[in-house]
Each structure stands twice: as structure tokens, then as C-alpha cells.
Amino acid sequence: MNGGQPLRCRPFPIVAFEIRLSRLSPRFSALSRLFAATALVAVLAGTALPARAEAPVSPWPQAASDLQAESGIRFGTLANGMRFAVMRNATPSGQAAIRFRIGSGSLEEDDTQQGLAHFLEHMAFKGSTHVPEGEMVRILQRKGLAFGPDTNAHTSYDETVYALDLPEVDADTVSTGLMLMRETASELKLDAGAFDRERGVILSEERLRDTPQYRGMIGLINVLLAGQRVPSRPPIGKTDIISNAPVDLVRDYYRANYRPDRATLIVVGDVDPDAIETEIRRRFEDWKPAGPARPEPDLGKLKQQGLGADIVTVPGASTRIQIAWTRPYDGSPDTFAKRRAEMVEDLGLSVLKRRVSAMARRANAPFISAEVASQDLYDSARIALVAADSEPDKWQAALAAIDQEQRRIAQFGVEQSELDREILEYRSLLQAAAGGAATRTSTDIANTLAQSVDDDKVFTSPADDLALFERMVKGLTADEVNQALHNTVFSGNGPRLVLQTAQAPQGGADAVAKAYAASQAVPVTAPAKTMAAVWPYTHFGDAGTVVERRDVGDLGLTLVRFANGVRLNVKPTKLRANEVLVRVDIGHGRLDLPKDRPLPTWTAQGVELSGVKAIDYEDMQKALAANVASIDFSLDDGSFKFEGRTRPEDLATQLQIFTAYGSDPAYRPEVFARLQQAYLNNLDQYSATPGAVVSRDFLGLVHAGDPRWTFPDRDQLLAAKPADFEALFHDPITKGAIEVTIAGDVTADAVIGLVAQTFGALPPRADDAPTTDSAQFPIPTAQPVLRSHTGRLDNAAAVMAVPIGDMLSDLPRAFSADLAGQIFQNRLIDQFRIAEGATYSPQGDVSLSKSIPGYGYAYAYVETTPAKVDRFYALVDKIAADLAANDVSADELARAKEPMIETVKHQQEGNEYWLRNLRGVQTDARRLDLIRQNLTGYEKVTAQDVRAIAATYFKPEKFWRLEVLPGGATAIR
């Protein structure tokens, strides 16, 4: 179970910020992550996985357990101690996933090596005995692997994992993948010149990771694990060591820690296990350790601490108050009894989590959001945590609220009805997982297998997980859960109060302690009895009549139109057993909105959180606890979109939920107020780093300041009213034309019948054109548009974008532009990252709209030092000029084309692909053409096509530029 995400060497996409506060059917369980609240989700995306001091030559955990590993996985150990696991899995067909784990990370570094475990991971791509420097990525690109999505690695406290997702499983591709893992094991050259060139990349990554969220997480770890090894060994390391360490130090680390008795190789895919095992043995049995094993690092002992308070001051961070209890880490084997004890704890905490989440939804709530969790933290302690995000000057009220609710459950316990609800909901999720086990993807299985190795857990099957759960909860009473909460969870060290804030309050930690003492003086009473809830939206009128139905045989589609104008697109598949994806598009999205004034588009999440008129969001969760259903609402360029994931037996309920939202939505003012405060609370974070500024402003800027795409400033947030929220969404959602798309384990006839009873039963709706004109790309900039960030002085960002046009009006142009953009990005990586070491992760993409006629662009983006910004723009101009003047080589074209083709093939074997691409096919036949040509379109692109795109569009005089610098630069220069 992970406390966060590792340091992954992969691109960071430009995305808009979003505050995710809740979800229908939220689930906290033994499988969920610690600190999943809004603020810390972002933190953990930039920190590292938990640490384990793992003994060499460890047997597979099932050898010491009464739990059975999933059958069908071949577990083995070579004579040299290297473990391997191989599993045949045909989803997706013709593909495989390789994970090579070294059980060593930053904890194994000595004081002079801090950061070199991660540095070594980078060097694995920099040449080895049989692979020249710079060739590894190119070899993989020729095989159809994209750098980042398919070729990846991460380093954490206790492990380094290399990942390859193979698009083909022919003997040569599989052999190449295993060869590269064998090269990584002991054959890395670790050339001094390559090492020096990579320093700038590592330092760029360190700057990118240094966010307020990351600093807050590190501060919390420092408090809870004070005096232990983990706080002194963050995987990113120390910048002075990264800048100055001689290459011999990383060689020393390599020889000492990359050993077969620390290694595990995992291969999952459409392969022959016998052949794979033979290949593994042939390649890896001769791997010998370079020297004797080192002693395992001493992680230190958990410091005995009673009640205490600490302040973690992080400029730019949001305000978060946390109450934590710690107890020693239990490193005993993974057994049924141990899992059951954890499950009993987790079920009790699930009730507490649901209670505090319900508090956050009330009018005048004492906090914005709250989180409850319990988990092993870096194998150094087990933590129980109750946390709340609040307004900066209201942390005392938030502290009192979570303290008193924690004491309430500790004193009066959970009700049996509350426990039964958590069991019911968790059972339904396990049932869904078991039902879909036969079509789990190879990448998911490989990732989970690798995680089980890190956790030293038995890899149990979904069917066994369900059976184990039923054994665990059989006869489970609220009394047993309450004893676990009282005697175990809220015991041990603590409670420790940790206030994360941008500015320490007057009185510092004493003020926190006093606020806690004041809350403790308030007696708590028994909770109010929970009331059952019933889902009221089961009938919407007489079933609708189908007036048009046609089959698209070559794509396996059924397209339907009902008498009330509702359109339905159905794609029955067997791609994922027991999975059904549903998408509902209403109206024309942003194109339906006015563009002459600021808009509260940021309130979009409030649509789902408000529930519907006859039942609010909290009661929806109660009423639908036994169902597997979900809600995700978003405001898209071309529609107001609902999406959900369900199973065949719950499809009727999923459709009822969406029909209720589309016909009888509520816009509750308390939800608006919560969202408004969440955005205000996090506003400073959006200016704390260059990447945050780009994520905040990019979409608005590339739409020429159009308010439909613009992120709100503080004045706009404060000026917005609940009535604005309802006015923005009510009419478009309740009056707009409806299109339903369903893909998954269904039959067309069954889906048509269910949609007829739901959306098909609604009153007719007109299908009007968008009420406003299209979007505009900004005019070219002779000098970059300037923005500033409030973070480090050595950090900056630069963006170049250029208009190209939409996707559908010229499909050959679109495919050529996409490939040209990929080649542009590859060259930027080769030159700005690899050759010059000026950035961690250059990005480039082509975004051509399918909703806005004539609109689309290509962009390139880097985070670097301020001194390198001008060099980026010069390099962009140089690459553009060369692409326009000269044909790319056949090899360069293939290295861009093959990963794109393989990516499309992979996507087509998932229901998400069909859900995404079927929208609008009944009203625009070009969308069907796009699906049909998605592979052949790329295959047909020539070097001359790429050159023509560059000559037409990649002209410096057409470029729009954005520059984000430290300090107060705000004007266009």
C-alpha cells in the first residue's frame, strides 16, 4: 500500500487545475492510499513510495503465509537469488508488460550518495556494454514504444523499478526488452561525460518537484518519523551532491546494490510462460554480484511521543490541520489474520471518514474537506490520521470539528448499520473486480505484482480477495470494530497535531496545543441515528420509442435515435469482462456559454456534488451503496459531459443516475460555497511554481483570453454567487440535446431497452446549434507573454504554440501534423534535455479540436532555468526551420510513427477509446471516418508530408510564446 507516488522519469502534461472534493461511492479500504484528501493527493504525486528494508534473497511472501498466490502466475527464483514472475494474459492481445525491480533506493545511499540512486536510474538510459549512449530509447521507439508512456522508470526510498510496455510480443521485441533489462542489471557503462551531461536534467527535476505540496508532505514525514532514517533520505537527494559528486560514487552504489538477490523480474502478457522462463534463465543466470552484500540500513526506531503540536510552514501552501497517532511498524508475514485485523480497522475508519465527509457538505461547514486513513508509513511506523483542509483563519474550528468527531467515534463507536453499509459497498467493488478478472490488462497486473513485491504481500487473485473478505466480515460486529478503534488505532504515540500553513499563527505550536485543549474540554454526545435512504429516480415516464436504428457493421456499432431526439451509440465489446462505460453528452458545452463576461466555470464539479432535487449527494451514497456506479461531470468544449463506470447488472441504475442529473438537477448553495472556498484556499499554490502558472493560465491564453476557458482570479471568485452557479448550468443541462454512448460488456438490444426507460422517456429536446461563435487562437507574439511565479529564483517555464486548425476538416493534415509534432518533441528531447541537460522533461503535443471548427494548435513546453529560456526559443526556431527545409530520415519518421500506431492499437483494445471517439458520430460522419482511418492515417504519412506541415505552420512569425519567470513580471514585453 503506497503512501504516494515515486520519482518517475516521464513527461508532465500541461493540465488545468481541478479541485476534486468527493466522488459517488467513495471507498476507503485496505487497498486505498494514505492521505487521499485533495491537498495531499497533489503532494504525493511528487514524493516517493514507502520504504522497506528488504533482506536479500527473500523468498516469495506466500512461502511464509497461509494465503495462496494467484494461480496462473509462475513464481521462480534463479540460483543467483533473482526472483521472477511470469503470467500469460491476453488483454490486450499481442502485448506484454515487463517490470524489473531492484530492491534498493535512497535508503541504501550513504551520506555522500544522497540522490545517486535516482541519478543511477537516469543513467540506465545512457549506454551499456551492448547499447551505445543515446540508442536505448531509439531502439524502443523503432519497436513502437513511446518514451514516457511505454518506457519508464521510478526510484523511491527502497526500490528502483524499470518498466517497458511492449506493443508486440514477437520473439525479437520480447528478447529486446529482456536484453535491455539485463543490460541495466550489471552492464551500465556509467560514462563520466554522460554523467556530467545528466546533472542538469536531475537538477531540473528537483526544481519541478519542489512544490508547496511536496514540502508539506516532507514536513509531515519529518514530524511523524523524527529521528528515523526516512526523513534524511528523500529520493531526489541533495542538490550539492547531484551537482558535484564524481561518477565513482554512483558506480559504487551500482556495484553494491544492483545485485541479483535484490532483483525481481516480472513479465505479464500474451506470451508463452515456458519460453519466457527459458529466456530469463538464459539471460540472467550468469549475473553475479559485484561484491559482498551490505548490511541492511537501520531505519531507526519510532520515537516515543505523547501529545504534542508542530507547525509546518510552507509558503504558498493551503492550510491543513492533522491529528496523527503512530505505532511501531509490523513487519510480520502477510497472513489472513493480519489482513483481517487491518480490514477491521479500515472499516471503522471508513465510517469516520464518511461522517467527516458529510460534515464538509453541510452549510457553514467547519472545514472544506477532510480525510481519514491508516497505513504503514515507509515501513517505519503505522499511522492513523484525521485531517482537514480549512480557510487560513479557521483552522481552530477545523481542528475542533475533527477532534470531536474522532472522540465521538472512539467513545460511542460505530453503529451496526454504518458498518453494514461499508461492508455492502466494499463487497460490491470486490464482486465487480472478480467479475472482470479475466480481462485485467497486463500493465495493471504487472504494476500490481511489482507493488506486492515492494509491500512483501502475497499476490492474491480478485476471486480470492472476495472470498477472503467474506471470511473476514462473517459475523463481524460493531463491537469488534469499536474495540479495534479504541484499543489499537487511536492508541500508541500521540496524538500529534500538525498544522500546515503558509504563515505560522501567533503563538506558533503553543497556539495549536491551546486550540486542541479547548476542543478537548468540550464533551461529545452520541451521534444521531443514521437514516436509511431510498433512490427515488426509477421511473421517468413511458419508455421512449426508437425512430431510427442502424448498424455500422465494420465498426461493430449500433446507432439509435429516439422519438424525443435522444441519440444512443452502442459499442458492445468483450474487451473488459463485467465492465460498462457510460458517457452522456448534453448540449454544446463551452460553446453554449456567453463570452462577454467572466464565468464561474470552476463550479462544474458542484453539479455532481449537489445531487438532484429529490435526494442530495450524501443520501445518494447511502441509497446506492450496493451498486457499482460513479459520476464524473465536466464542462467540455463541445458538451456538458457525464461519465460513469459500472457493471452490467448496475447499468440500469447508472442510467437512472445520469437521467436524474440531466432532468432534475439541484444546485445547492452549500456546495457552491465549499467549492468557492476550496479555490480561494488553493489560489496561492497556482502561482507557486512555473508549472502551476502554466497549468492555470495556458488554456485561457491559447483561447485569446476567452472567459469560457479562463481560470478565475481572486476577485472573480469572491464576486461569484450561488445563483451564478445555477444560471450557468441549469438551462444547458435540462434543455440541451442528449447523446448517450455506451461501450462494454453489453448487448445492443439490452442497452436500447434501458435507455428507452430513462433518457428515452424524457420530454423532447431541440438540437440547436451553439449560441455563440467559435474560439480564437491568440495573435503571434514578437516577444513572449510574461507571467510570474512566486517560487524559486532558479526556475522558469517557456511555451511556444502555433495554430494549425481543427481535426475533422482535413484528416490527412491532422495525422501529418500529429507526427510532425511528435518529431518536434523528439528533437527537443534529444537536444535540450539529452545534449544540453537544460530540462527534465520537454513536452510537445498537437491538440486539434473536434468540436470547434478551425481551432487547434501545436505546442512545445519546458521548465528550465531563467538563463536557458532564450536558448529554448532559439532551439524551437532552429528545429522548425530545419523541419521546413529538409525531409526527415526514414528512421526518424519511423521512430515517431511506430509508437503512435502502436498506441492507437493499444487504445482500441479498451472501452475508453470507444467512449471517447463515438461522440457525435450520428451528426458528423467525419467522426466515423476518423475512427476508420486512425491507423492507416498515420501509416500513410510521408517525410514530405511532415516537411509540408512544418513549412506551412511551423513558422517563427506565427509562433505565440509564453514565459514564466520568478518575481513580478506581468506585462507583455
Single-letter code of the amino acid located at 949 = I
CB 83: neighbour CB atoms within 10 A?
Answer: 22
Rounded distance, CA 865 to CA 22, Å? 37
pLDDT for position 917: 97
At 492, the pLDDT band (50, 70, 90 cuts) reads confident
Q: In the predicted model, is pLDDT for residue 248 greater than 80?
A: yes
C-alpha cell at 569: 451509440
List the single range of 5-9, 45-49, 511-515 with lowest mean pLDDT: 45-49
The predicted-structure confidence for 275-319, as pLDDT tens digits, reads as follows 999 999 999 999 999 988 889 999 999 999 899 999 999 999 999
Rounded distance, CA 356 to CA 362, Å? 10
At 53, the pLDDT band (50, 70, 90 cuts) reads very low
Single-letter code of the amino acid located at 144 = G
Who contacts 678 (Cβ-Cβ below 8 Å, separation ≥6)? 19, 21, 38, 368, 369, 389
The answer to whether residues 349 and 407 touch, using CB atoms and an 8 Å cutoff, is: no
The answer to whether residues 429 and 27 touch, using CB atoms and an 8 Å cutoff, is: yes
Q: In the predicted model, is pLDDT for residue 921 greater than 70?
A: yes
At 708, the pLDDT band (50, 70, 90 cuts) reads very high
Single-letter code of the amino acid located at 406 = Q
Q: How many CA atoms lie within 13 A of 688 on its CB side?
A: 20
From 407, 406, 370, 401, select the one nearest 388 (Cα to Cα).
370
At 745, the pLDDT band (50, 70, 90 cuts) reads very high
Q: How many CA atoms lie within 13 A of 492 on its CB side?
A: 20
Question: For 640-718, where are the E strands, in sequence order?
Answer: 640-646
Cα distances (angstroms) measured from residue 422 to each of 351, 378, 417, 478, 789: 7, 27, 9, 11, 44
The predicted-structure confidence for 349-367, as pLDDT tens digits, reads as follows 999 999 999 999 999 999 9
The separation between CA 261 and the C-alpha centre of its own chain, rounded to angstroms, equals: 32
pLDDT for position 968: 57
The answer to whether residues 807 and 853 touch, using CB atoms and an 8 Å cutoff, is: no
Stretch 796-805: mean pLDDT: 98
Stretch 782-799: mean pLDDT: 96
Cis ω for the linkage preceding 92 (within 30 of 0): yes
Who contacts 817 (Cβ-Cβ below 8 Å, separation ≥6)? 804, 846, 848, 858, 949, 953
CB 844: neighbour CB atoms within 10 A?
Answer: 23
Percent of the chain with pLDDT over 90: 88
Q: In the predicted model, is pLDDT for residue 54 greater than 70?
A: no
At 255, the pLDDT band (50, 70, 90 cuts) reads very high
pLDDT for position 770: 75
List the single range of 135-149, 254-268, 701-715 with lowest mean pLDDT: 135-149
Angle of the 651-663 helix axis to the 748-757 helix axis, nearest 10:
40
Q: In the predicted model, is pLDDT for residue 16 greater than 70?
A: no
At 616, the pLDDT band (50, 70, 90 cuts) reads very high
Stretch 677-691: mean pLDDT: 95
Rounded distance, CA 808 to CA 521, Å? 66
From 360, 366, 354, select the one nearest 393 (Cα to Cα).
366
pLDDT for position 771: 72
At 731, the pLDDT band (50, 70, 90 cuts) reads very high
Stretch 719-730: mean pLDDT: 97
Who contacts 552 (Cβ-Cβ below 8 Å, separation ≥6)? 558, 559, 928
More confident residue, 420 or 773: 420
CA angle 957, 961, 966 (to 5 degrees): 150
In the predicted model, what is the mean pLDDT of the chain?
Answer: 92
